[in-house]
Amino acid sequence: MMTFYPDIKLVHVAAAMTSGTLFALRALGLLAGMRWPRAALVRYTSYTIDTVLLTGAMMLLTILPAGLFANGWLVAKIVFVVAYVGLGIAAFRPSWSLGARAGLVTAALLCFLQVYGIARAHDPWGWLLWLVS
Protein backbone atom coordinates (compact mmCIF):
# COMPACT_ATOMS: atom_id res chain seq x y z
CA MET A 1 0.00 0.00 0.00
CA MET A 2 2.93 2.34 0.77
CA THR A 3 3.77 2.19 -2.97
CA PHE A 4 0.68 4.30 -3.62
CA TYR A 5 1.46 6.86 -0.87
CA PRO A 6 2.67 9.66 -3.23
CA ASP A 7 -0.36 9.23 -5.50
CA ILE A 8 -2.87 9.12 -2.64
CA LYS A 9 -1.28 12.20 -1.07
CA LEU A 10 -1.39 14.01 -4.43
CA VAL A 11 -5.10 13.22 -4.80
CA HIS A 12 -5.77 14.30 -1.18
CA VAL A 13 -3.91 17.61 -1.54
CA ALA A 14 -5.43 18.33 -4.99
CA ALA A 15 -8.94 17.62 -3.64
CA ALA A 16 -8.24 19.82 -0.59
CA MET A 17 -7.11 22.75 -2.76
CA THR A 18 -10.07 22.32 -5.12
CA SER A 19 -12.46 22.14 -2.16
CA GLY A 20 -11.07 25.36 -0.62
CA THR A 21 -11.07 27.21 -3.95
CA LEU A 22 -14.65 26.17 -4.74
CA PHE A 23 -15.80 27.19 -1.24
CA ALA A 24 -14.10 30.61 -1.60
CA LEU A 25 -15.69 31.18 -5.05
CA ARG A 26 -19.15 30.09 -3.84
CA ALA A 27 -18.84 32.30 -0.77
CA LEU A 28 -17.81 35.31 -2.88
CA GLY A 29 -20.77 34.66 -5.22
CA LEU A 30 -23.11 34.43 -2.24
CA LEU A 31 -21.78 37.69 -0.76
CA ALA A 32 -22.32 39.34 -4.18
CA GLY A 33 -25.99 38.26 -4.04
CA MET A 34 -25.73 35.61 -6.78
CA ARG A 35 -27.86 32.45 -6.86
CA TRP A 36 -25.50 29.94 -8.51
CA PRO A 37 -23.58 29.12 -5.27
CA ARG A 38 -26.70 27.34 -3.95
CA ALA A 39 -27.47 25.50 -7.24
CA ALA A 40 -27.82 21.71 -6.90
CA LEU A 41 -25.07 20.98 -9.45
CA VAL A 42 -22.58 23.18 -7.58
CA ARG A 43 -23.55 21.65 -4.21
CA TYR A 44 -23.21 18.08 -5.47
CA THR A 45 -19.87 18.89 -7.12
CA SER A 46 -18.68 20.22 -3.76
CA TYR A 47 -19.90 17.07 -1.91
CA THR A 48 -18.09 14.88 -4.47
CA ILE A 49 -14.79 16.75 -4.07
CA ASP A 50 -15.09 16.54 -0.28
CA THR A 51 -15.76 12.79 -0.49
CA VAL A 52 -12.56 12.33 -2.54
CA LEU A 53 -10.68 14.51 -0.01
CA LEU A 54 -11.90 12.47 2.97
CA THR A 55 -11.33 9.11 1.26
CA GLY A 56 -7.72 10.14 0.55
CA ALA A 57 -7.36 11.31 4.17
CA MET A 58 -8.62 7.94 5.49
CA MET A 59 -6.24 6.04 3.20
CA LEU A 60 -3.27 8.17 4.32
CA LEU A 61 -4.31 7.60 7.93
CA THR A 62 -4.30 3.84 7.38
CA ILE A 63 -0.96 3.53 5.62
CA LEU A 64 1.15 5.99 7.64
CA PRO A 65 2.83 4.93 10.90
CA ALA A 66 1.02 6.19 14.04
CA GLY A 67 4.25 7.80 15.29
CA LEU A 68 3.91 10.46 12.57
CA PHE A 69 0.94 11.90 14.47
CA ALA A 70 2.55 11.72 17.93
CA ASN A 71 2.76 15.51 18.47
CA GLY A 72 -1.01 15.89 17.99
CA TRP A 73 -0.92 17.78 14.67
CA LEU A 74 -3.59 15.56 13.10
CA VAL A 75 -6.00 16.07 16.03
CA ALA A 76 -5.47 19.86 15.79
CA LYS A 77 -6.00 19.65 12.04
CA ILE A 78 -9.28 17.75 12.43
CA VAL A 79 -10.52 20.33 15.00
CA PHE A 80 -9.92 23.09 12.42
CA VAL A 81 -11.48 21.00 9.62
CA VAL A 82 -14.64 20.60 11.76
CA ALA A 83 -14.66 24.36 12.48
CA TYR A 84 -14.14 25.10 8.75
CA VAL A 85 -17.05 22.84 7.73
CA GLY A 86 -19.33 24.16 10.51
CA LEU A 87 -18.61 27.82 9.73
CA GLY A 88 -18.98 27.12 6.00
CA ILE A 89 -22.41 25.50 6.48
CA ALA A 90 -23.49 28.35 8.77
CA ALA A 91 -22.37 30.96 6.20
CA PHE A 92 -24.76 29.49 3.63
CA ARG A 93 -27.83 29.76 5.90
CA PRO A 94 -30.28 32.27 4.38
CA SER A 95 -31.00 34.27 7.55
CA TRP A 96 -27.73 36.23 7.98
CA SER A 97 -27.05 39.90 7.33
CA LEU A 98 -24.30 40.63 4.80
CA GLY A 99 -21.85 41.59 7.59
CA ALA A 100 -22.49 38.42 9.61
CA ARG A 101 -22.15 36.26 6.50
CA ALA A 102 -18.87 37.97 5.56
CA GLY A 103 -17.60 37.31 9.12
CA LEU A 104 -18.52 33.62 8.92
CA VAL A 105 -16.88 33.25 5.49
CA THR A 106 -13.70 34.97 6.73
CA ALA A 107 -13.56 32.75 9.83
CA ALA A 108 -14.09 29.61 7.69
CA LEU A 109 -11.30 30.63 5.28
CA LEU A 110 -8.93 31.36 8.19
CA CYS A 111 -9.66 27.85 9.54
CA PHE A 112 -8.92 26.41 6.09
CA LEU A 113 -5.59 28.26 5.97
CA GLN A 114 -4.73 26.94 9.41
CA VAL A 115 -5.60 23.36 8.29
CA TYR A 116 -3.16 23.80 5.41
CA GLY A 117 -0.47 25.26 7.69
CA ILE A 118 -0.82 22.42 10.22
CA ALA A 119 -0.65 19.79 7.44
CA ARG A 120 2.49 21.32 5.93
CA ALA A 121 4.27 21.90 9.22
CA HIS A 122 3.17 18.61 10.82
CA ASP A 123 2.73 20.75 13.92
CA PRO A 124 -0.46 21.66 15.84
CA TRP A 125 0.52 25.36 15.73
CA GLY A 126 0.49 25.48 11.93
CA TRP A 127 1.16 29.01 10.66
CA LEU A 128 1.21 30.25 14.28
CA LEU A 129 4.66 28.61 14.57
CA TRP A 130 6.00 31.81 12.98
CA LEU A 131 4.61 33.79 15.92
CA VAL A 132 5.70 31.49 18.76
CA SER A 133 9.18 30.50 17.51
Binding site for ligand HEM (CB under 6 A): 9, 12-13, 16, 20, 54, 57, 60-61, 64, 68, 78, 81, 84, 112, 115-116, 119-120
The Cα–Cα gap between 16 and 120 comes to: 13
CB of residue 39 to ligand HEM, shortest distance in Å: 22
CB of residue 33 to ligand HEM, shortest distance in Å: 26
CB of residue 35 to ligand HEM, shortest distance in Å: 26
Q: Which long-range contacts (CB under 8 A, 24 or more apart) does 45-52 make?
A: 46/19, 46/22, 49/15, 49/18, 49/19, 49/22, 50/15, 50/19, 52/11, 52/15
Cβ proximity to ligand HEM: between 34 and 78 the closer is: 78
Per-position b or e across 117-128, b if 16+ CB within 10 A of its CB: bbbeeebbbbee
Cβ proximity to ligand HEM: between 2 and 40 the closer is: 2
The Cα–Cα gap between 87 and 30 comes to: 14
Cβ proximity to ligand HEM: between 67 and 94 the closer is: 67
Cβ proximity to ligand HEM: between 27 and 119 the closer is: 119
CB of residue 7 to ligand HEM, shortest distance in Å: 12
